A and B are shown apart, each in its own frame.
Chain A
């Protein structure tokens, strides 16, 4: 049977491992993994990502009750942390290391070796030229060496032949590029492990102290100790926001134009105060963290009094904007109210109207005609001591208050300076004035400079490897009748349009006369690369 004659070579465990390693580190595998990486990155742009937009992710899952949970299980809402995405890039980098390390060794050896010997039949090389000269061979070779310049490493043998090589930096660049990619990966990883990032809303006039509990949301890496945060503080003195109110057209009218915050910072309690201007694109660098201005909104100053006029609540209350016109929602919680705790819930409208279909909304983002549209609940604000967000009301243990002498629920519409009496002796609520808040993002990434340096190194090395040509040049001088016959030839590892020109130039330098007739007829076609050369 013919099948028996084909014996598969037996691979022992070591052989099998070696075989697997060769597969993983082959260029074909690298290519496949690169393409796979591109495909694996794709879902992250299609489905909302939890780390970027948790609200949109939750809404998506709710809207797709069958598909959503499955996608969630498969990691489609956390693509860049999913096992399959990680597997692809880790394999790619393993392949990269396996590929680059041996090449470093080979290249190092290469750098220490002299240029290779001159081949026997230079006329066989695609790019070559012949010249005649009456000058002695050493002189001819010296002129060629001079013409080659300092970029070439040159070896002259027996005063009759010369070999030269240049472009070692190409391979150096290639290796440096691939190592720099590893550098980027390491930098990103270190940033995740030792870095942290927190967001906080700070109303104008308030001070933020950098402690974990002050943040609205905070994420930190496994090796971060939040007790050791730098003890700086920051006071928001002023926030100026301007909006487009000149140009019409879709997506332009009402777009934000400028946010500027004036802040006072202290590197530690009791340290000297420093004033800064914090703007979008102009973060403030603190010791151990950088402060960015990312968002803004309104914090109406609201006062609630009981029926005797005693102040139960009075502060700037941040409302979160829900649309481009800053229709903002928020809550006012008055735990000191008696006999039952009070909670107001509703919208702040910088330019408010009551529309027929959508109810109270804002039609422009600036505070042109501000109003609060609120409803009122009474009962237990935090049943069982449960903590809830300051921007929403947990109404599980509360009932909505009705308007006085009516079955309709109470709807409050309050403009700045106005005080509204609450029904049945529950006191009053005053909308004192409008303040703004700044959304600050505070971040620490100890590896960002390293990552940037790696990226720039990758770029420089990439340019080197793509532009530098690896070339070898050979010259042989043989005595002939009265003078010498010079053969110049060149080789390149890659496409190299300049090679033919180089050969011509060197032949012109070496000889008194270039002799096209000397090329044997059969080799003319082979030397076709010289087409288009201008002398």
Chain B
């Protein structure tokens, strides 16, 4: 146990919170200011079809002058988002070094890791294809997550209880973290889709909405994120079962945490089914996805804090 490193780990999380706040402001400014620019940039794209080559040229050519104002904010947001991600990452590494184990042993550490996964996923995605429009909607919930972690879930750095001492901890919990990170992004896009779809059907388009992709595109994006997260969650549950057999002698005990992991899995399976079932609207399917995310939140808050089970290691 190294208390100095643990202290620096905390400073790093505070820095991440500060930088995330700046990123949130920058992305909000982007949403507010990018609107005219985006409209100009978008129109010619629509006309050009069939062949790719000229479309790409025109998109860059005509948009360039007008895009400036919003672009700049998006650029600032992107830098801050990367910096905040790095701060969370550094904090996790320091905490891991402080206690000589993977920093995934209690609720506080888990929330930090899930925030890291969500931010890293967003940043990498944003690097490959511009999703600045999503910035505010990702950074704000992550900021709330970190504030909750620091204020409500904070646990002193310490070693692990014996049942948690296993390399399965790293496998099982890091997969759960990544998966929850991607589910979070998916839920954000799903919620945006439902809002935009409602606006579209009401024939009413607030200004900020015009920066965002079409509802149909959002719906597809949400689906893509969910089909990445779902196998990860499946693997998390299987790895948990393998570990449970080693640690508790039985691979499935219907412990509250296991019950909820199962419920989450079933609800997301229902989402994938709903989307493939004719006669079920896309809207309904996305509502099921949001229900799945609600179950994730319950699993990491209510179940961790109030239900009695073998997983009672949140350190609280």
Contacts and interface: CB of A to CB of B under 8 A. Distances in A.
A188 B223 CA distance: 31
Contacts of B255: 52
Contact of A49 (B49, B254, B266): B254
Interface in B224-246: 224, 227, 230-231, 234-235, 238, 241-243, 245-246
Given A256-B162, A258-B162, A27 B267 contact: no
Contact count band on A: 35 or more
Contacts of B45: 531-532
Interface stretch (A9-17, A106-114, A367-375, A521-529): A521-529
A533 B269 CA distance: 32
Interface in B21-71: 45-56
Nearest to B168: A281
B49 A52 contact: no
B166 interface: yes
**Interface residues of chain B: helix, strand, loop or mixed (majority):** helix
Contacts of A247: 1, 156-159
A535 B308 contact: no
Interface string A273-305: 000000111110000001010100000000000
Nearest to B3: A247
Interface string B249-284: 111111110011011001101101110111110000
A45 B307 contact: yes
B158 A504 contact: no
Nearest to A527: B49
B163 interface: yes
A52 to B, nearest CB: 6
B38 to A, nearest CB: 15
Contacts of B47: 524
B316 interface: yes
Q: DSSP class of A's interface residues: helix, strand, loop or mixed?
A: mixed
Nearest to A31: B273
B315 interface: yes
B231 A459 contact: yes
A519 B50 contact: yes
B140 interface: no
B96 to A, nearest CB: 16
A44 B251 CA distance: 17
A492 B163 CA distance: 48
A41 B162 CA distance: 29
A292 B249 contact: yes
A247 B259 CA distance: 32
B76 interface: no
A279 B165 CA distance: 10
A310 interface: no
B100 interface: no
Interface of B: 1, 45-56, 155-163, 165-166, 168, 220, 223-224, 227, 230-231, 234-235, 238, 241-243, 245-256, 259-260, 262-263, 266-267, 269-270, 272-274, 276-280, 288, 295, 303, 307-308, 315-316
Leading 5 A-B pairs by shortest Cβ distance: A533-B52, A516-B51, A249-B156, A45-B256, A292-B249
Given A30-B273, A42-B259, A527-B50, 20 more contacts: A27-B277, A34-B273, A35-B270, A37-B266, A38-B267, A45-B259, A197-B249, A244-B159, A251-B316, A258-B165, A281-B247, A294-B249, A448-B251, A452-B238, A466-B227, A497-B220, A504-B52, A531-B48, A532-B45, A535-B52
5 contacts: A31-B273, A251-B315, A256-B162, A466-B230, A516-B51
